[in-house]
């Protein structure tokens, strides 16, 4: 006759099974070191201290079993720093390292999004500069200053422009968030 196990005994067996599974899934200390190093490579790339070829060469030196996790850690670090200024080089690097269809499509969609937001930003800057120029010309005219010697005004350093840029950056980041899983692989 078989003995019926109590709920407590069943729970203990289940927990032991989960612990064994967790131990199998948990990366080794050596793998953790490679993953941390790959994330550091991502930060190094963002500082423009290394190019995509050097990064690929370094990642190729990692043990075969660790490479996928290390590449993902590198790409996660890289894509976390995406903004309107650095999207181009980052997407080139992602495509260079991943070289698969999913990454290619995600990079193409991200490039389209980047191009669209760059254009929107340029249009907004032109509009704000035109408005500021008209306002300044009127101000100068009231002061008796007129003529062709008065040039346009650079707004890129102003608080108003920085606010507009931050708004576009936030919108861009939100839209890009949907593409990140495909970029990471």
Domain assignments of the chain as residue spans, ordered by start: 8-81, 112-185
**Mean pLDDT, residues 145-153:** 68
| Residue 54, pLDDT score | 92
| Residue 16, pLDDT score | 59
pLDDT at 33 over 70: yes
- The CA-atom distances, in angstroms, between 47 and each of 44, 81, 82 are 5, 10, 12
What confidence tier does 22 reach under pLDDT thresholds 50, 70, 90? very low
Give just the sign of the alpha carbon dihedral 29, 35, 39, 45.
positive
Nearest to 184 by CA among 70, 88, 87: 70
Q: How wide is the angle at C-alpha 27 spanned by C-alphas 24 and 28, nearest 5°?
A: 100
Residues contacting 162, CB < 8 A, separation 6+: none
**Mean pLDDT, residues 120-126:** 91
């Amino acid at each position: 006759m078989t003995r019926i196990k109590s709920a407590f005994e069943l729970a203990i067996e289940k927990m032991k099974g989960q612990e064994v599974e967790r131990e199998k899934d948990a990366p080794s200390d050596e793998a953790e070191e490679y993953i941390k190093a790959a994330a550091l490579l991502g930060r190094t790339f963002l500082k423009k201290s290394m190019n995509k070829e050097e990064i690929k060469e370094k990642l190729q030196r990692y043990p075969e079993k660790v490479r996928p996790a290390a590449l993902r850690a590198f790409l996660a670090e890289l894509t976390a720093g995406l903004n309107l200024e650095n999207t181009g080089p980052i997407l080139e690097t992602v495509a260079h390292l991943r070289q698969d269809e999913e990454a290619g499509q995600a990079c193409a969609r991200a490039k389209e999004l980047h191009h669209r937001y760059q254009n929107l930003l340029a249009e907004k800057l032109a509009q704000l500069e035109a408005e500021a120029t008209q306002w300044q010309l009127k101000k100068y005219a009231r002061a008796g200053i007129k003529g062709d010697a008065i040039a346009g005004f650079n707004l890129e350093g102003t608080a108003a422009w920085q606010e507009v840029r931050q708004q576009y950056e936030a919108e861009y980041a939100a839209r890009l968030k949907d593409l990140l899983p495909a970029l990471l692989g």
